[in-house]
Structure 1
């Protein structure tokens, strides 16, 4: 049975941060005549419009983080504690980008205490039974959501380059199944999110263990069969192993909803032109059909 719609779920913060840092390293913040920096928004739009062109969605939703405090920071003080405050030139762009999304009639979805990933996971699962879902992000954490009807497009260097992971191709690319990414992260931790996993176990060992034993539970049931050094590392870091696994898992039961009707990809070109003119993005207007 063919699926009804093709839904694009956009990881808004991933695109905005990526867009900001891709253009700001030369000190180019693209301030408009009011002195407001717009480089992150400009590059976000270039990424976004390229993805719409490539994946041809019928429906689009944009998901956002709503502040740095979430249930994960309550579980573990150190979660993402290694991240510095956003650059001051990026701060005014947080609200502006949502206005741009609204100009496109895109639903802006986010919920206090949860990350954008959790909103994406929840909506992807809600939509996937009857629709094809593609998640646009630069963040490998989201790969655990790949499933029947849910693909993930990871943005790569340069515009218009994507590594697309589908249910059919995932194992061939990663050597494990999507849900096993959670246990993999539990073992090896995640330096960008600042949780350690099992101290001394890196990606190579973690991958080998998951390929052989499939789950953390099976690894623990067979701990006596592991090399002595690995046994010791796991035994000494059991609490952090379980905690890291909990931190890695994207929640798919967040109390949000967004009807497909509300997410229909349809906009008023005049409204976009006004917004782009206001932001002084005159050369982007031609990209909007």
Structure 2
């Protein structure tokens, strides 16, 4: 009798993988295109990253989460949120829709929610499914470390193919001296330059981590302001509102209106369907690389 495969769910941060795949190849100056001139370099790179992770971590179920574009609740809370981001490169824009078509051909659900980010969809699905199975989150975004728990690992993609750092509560604490929920407090204090919210002006990562490690949380720090140096205390007191707002922006929502049935995200490839899509995009070489049996 064949032993049944242990069920596990991989939640893929589609935006993180697509941008990584685009810039990893575009930096050389060469953009892969079809004969009609359609850019496909990000799609090709995405599948290479994604399938390597599937082979490495062997999930039974997979979901891919995406930003939907447009205004989010964070942008409503803080108008400058992500205001420093450049527009996506012209060659990447058509690949946003195409990669979702490719994931459809793989039988993998594409999930997003208007007004929220992919992180919030990932947080919501991980909280729900970690009650019944092991969950893996594939990304390059360290903000997602706040979602780590005994049944949820965050797999951070490092430079190069097949190079991962897997975070559990234990490895997170060993590396950073933080519990998952304390990631939010640290971000509230130090802000996030890439998301364009400031935290407490003048407090960087080193001081933020030291304060959270010593006092446990923002509330713990505020309860012991009299113990801090005059400089750090005055910085926090002068930026209290932004501290609370930055922490709110840093926290991933885990109650977003998204759902995905387990049956719909079971990883079972229709080899012919996948090959047809790859052929359409003139990247049929991926079929043999993925080990697809095409009759």
Shared fold per TM-score greater than 0.5: yes
CA distance in 2, matches of 1:183, 1:137: 21
| Number of the residue aligned with 2:74 | 72
1:10-159 to 2 correspondences below 5 Å:
10-159=12-161
Partner of 1:206: 208
Q: What is the CA–CA distance in structure 2 between the aligned matches of 1:41 and 1:257, rounded to whole Å?
A: 25
3-state SS in 2 of match to 1:168? helix
Deviation at 1:174, TM superposition (A): 1.4
| 2:230 pairs with 1:223 | no
* Cα distance in structure 2, aligned partners of 1:106 and 1:167: 28
TM-score (norm 2): 0.96
Q: How far is 1:89 from its partner? A: 0.3
Aligned counterparts of 2:271 and 2:114: Cα–Cα separation in 1: 32
- Using the TM superposition, give the Cα deviation of residue 287 of structure 1 relative to its aligned residue in structure 2, in angstroms: 2.3
SS at match of 2:170: coil
Q: Which moved more, 1:205-214 or 1:277-286?
A: 277-286
State the distance in 2 between where 1:207 and 1:190 align: 14
Over residues 191-220 of structure 1, what are the superposed CA-to-partner deviations in whole Å (9 max), with x where a residue is unaligned?
Answer: 010000000000010010000000101101
C-alpha distance in structure 1 between counterparts of 2:29 and 2:114, whole Å: 32
The DSSP-based 3-state class of the residue aligned with 1:9 is strand
Distance in 1 (CA, whole Å) between partners of 2:168 and 2:28 is 36
Is 1:233 the counterpart of 2:253? The answer is no
Per the alignment, in what secondary structure is the counterpart of residue 118 of structure 1? helix
Distance 1:50 1:150 in 2: 20
| SS of alignment partner, residue 201 of structure 1 | coil
8 Å Cα contact 1:4/1:130 also seen in 2? no
Partner residue of 1:165 out of 153, 164, 167: 167
SS of equivalent to 1:251: coil
Note if 1:7 corresponds to 2:2.
Answer: no
Q: 1:249 aligns with which of 251, 255, 264?
A: 251
User: Is 1:262–2:264 an aligned residue pair?
Assistant: yes
Cα offset for 1:4?
5.3
Consecutive aligned runs of 4 or more in structure 1 exceeding 3 Å deviation: none
Given that residues 6 and 60 in structure 2 are in contact (C-alpha distance below 8 angstroms), is that contact kept between their aligned partners in structure 1?
A: no
* Separation in structure 1 between the aligned mates of residue 33 and residue 106 of structure 2, nearest angstrom: 22
Residue 192 of structure 1, aligned match among 188, 191, 194: 194
- After TM superposition, give the deviation of residue 173 of structure 1 in Å: 1.5
The number of residues matched between the two structures is: 288
State the TM-score, normalizing by the size of structure 1. 0.98
How far apart in 2 are the matches of 1:282 and 1:123?
32
The CA deviation at 1:190 is: 0.4
Give the superposition deviation at 1:283.
1.6
Gaps of at least 5 residues in structure 1 are none
RMSD: 1.2
Contact 2:21–2:45 (Cα < 8 Å) also in 1 = yes
